[in-house]
Structure 1
Amino acid sequence: MEISFLSKEEYTIQGVYVENLHNRPYCIFDLEGTGIHVETEYITQIAAILFQNGQIIGKFDSLVKSPKLIPDAIEKLTGITNEEMLHAPAFPEVYKQFLDFCGEAVLVTQAGYEYDLPMLDKHCRIHGLQLFPNTVIDTKALFANVHREWNDIFSTDYLINYYKIGDNDVPRHNALGDCILISRIFQNILQDYSNKDMKSFELEKGLTIKRFVMPKSDLDEDNGGSHDS
């Protein structure tokens, strides 16, 4: 898999191939962090669910100790506090548990090509660990591939509104809650693939994806921000 960031507004993804889309097990994962900038921020929560045939068959959820204080706005947004960070396990311990939980399943994330994967890669490099070899599907790319006639920013809210997905029963900006929400988005996209008799996800020639750009006022340190894109 190759991800090329063309600008702050878009990137291309190629070299992804997943066959038998509709029957295999998946591990849907999500992160929370101290902020949205991968270069300067740190993971505070990793969660994942095992998902197959429309059913959640397992859950994983852990805080991750951050070397950086969580800004007030991010504490309010995620509900994760600096006090909880004092007793949270370190990244290497949580990462091992996460890998054991996911096993060899194909991973699924929302906006993961632009946030979650770079964040995990950064933390692995800091701790001298190897990034997992699992294939990763980003629901933004999966949706863009099946709807190539559209050229919008396929944010979480965009996909929720498009599929008319209920989200009042899960906490947003909580990694586990977002995993559950991603599973609903993912299941709807898989139905689109089924309707078009598409049994695999294949990006050999590359696909351009628009990135979510946070309004400048929301990126100020005092206001924090969210990576929910």
Structure 2
Amino acid sequence: METSYRKPRKRGRYVKKIVDDYCVVDIETTGLSWQRDQIIEIGIVKVRQGHIFDQYVQLIDPHKDISHFITQLTGIDNDMVFGMPELRDIIDEVLDFIGDDIIIGHNTAFDLSFIANHFGQDIENEYMDTLQFSRKVYPHLPHHRLTDMVELLGLSNNEHRALADCIATHELYEHLKQHILQNQIPL
């Protein structure tokens, strides 16, 4: 699916809150530009009362070759996505799954820019970013990448796969949330 938009779509409204109910969203893509690259996998973890309640994951046929670099990074190759649904075929089920939940991710603006622009519609949900929370809680660290935080805190291994990254991000948010509450760190 070729994307060409005149004006970038709205990716939601950034907030900082302590919440127990939310959806963690992560995507894998053919590259870093929502204008040129395609989504090849989307994962969502629905959280209720701080615990994973449901999950959604889907590989997507980008109708574009996946580079060797992206395959090395994600483990997703052209054979894996061949014959998978096209993005337009899953838009409604993804949006229905998320509903009105607050969206959480690590570097959320990246994922939501792709989603809003490739879905062709504004995202109205509030969203939060564990990258920003990590910087607030651990300002002394040189890097706050998800991989770094997973290693530091001994969380589930993220694999640059959508569902695994959602689970790691959920664990990270719950850890950060407890740290913020216990230490009364202002948001």
Give the residue type in structure 2 aligned to 1:189. Answer: L
Aligned partner of 2:112 among 113, 117, 122: 117
1:165 counterpart residue number: 155
Alignment-derived partner of residue 7 in structure 2: none
Aligned pair 1:135/2:100, yes or no? Answer: no
The aligned counterpart of 2:4 is none
Code of the aligned partner of 1:157: T
Rounded Cα–Cα distance in structure 2 between residues aligned with 1:138 and 1:35: 21
Q: What corresponds to 2:23 in structure 1? A: 27
Q: 1:79-158 maps to which residues of 2 (within 5 A)?
A: 79-113=75-109, 115-124=110-119, 129-147=120-138, 149-150=139-140, 152-158=142-148
Quick check: 1:99–1:132 contact (8 Å CA) kept in 2? Answer: no
Gaps of 5+ in 1: 1-14, 202-229
- Match of residue 191 from structure 1: 178
Q: For the residues of structure 2 that align with 1:162 and 1:75, how far apart are their CA atoms?
A: 26
Structure 1: how far apart are the matches of 2:32 and 2:121? 23
Are residues 39 and 78 of structure 1, via their aligned partners in 2, closer, same or farther at CA, if it must alter by over 3 Å? Answer: same
Cα shift readout 1:55-114 (whole Å, capped 9, x = no counterpart): 11001011122132101232243232212333111212222111111111100111122x
For 2:134, the aligned partner's letter is F
- What is the TM-score of this pair, normalised by structure 2? 0.82
Residues 165, 65 of structure 1: alpha-carbon distance in 2 compared, 3 angstrom cutoff: same
CA contact (8 A) 2:15 2:128 kept: no
Q: Quote the residue 1:57 is aligned against.
A: 53
User: Residues 29 and 49 of structure 1 are in contact (CA less than 8 Å); yes or no, is this contact kept in structure 2?
Assistant: yes
TM-score by length of structure 1 reads 0.68
Counterpart in the other structure of 1:16: 14
Hey, which of these two has a bigger chunk of helix by percent?
Answer: 2
Q: State the percentage of identical aligned residues.
A: 22
- List aligned pairs for 1:36-55, cutoff 5 A: 36-55=32-51
Match of 2:123, SS state, is coil
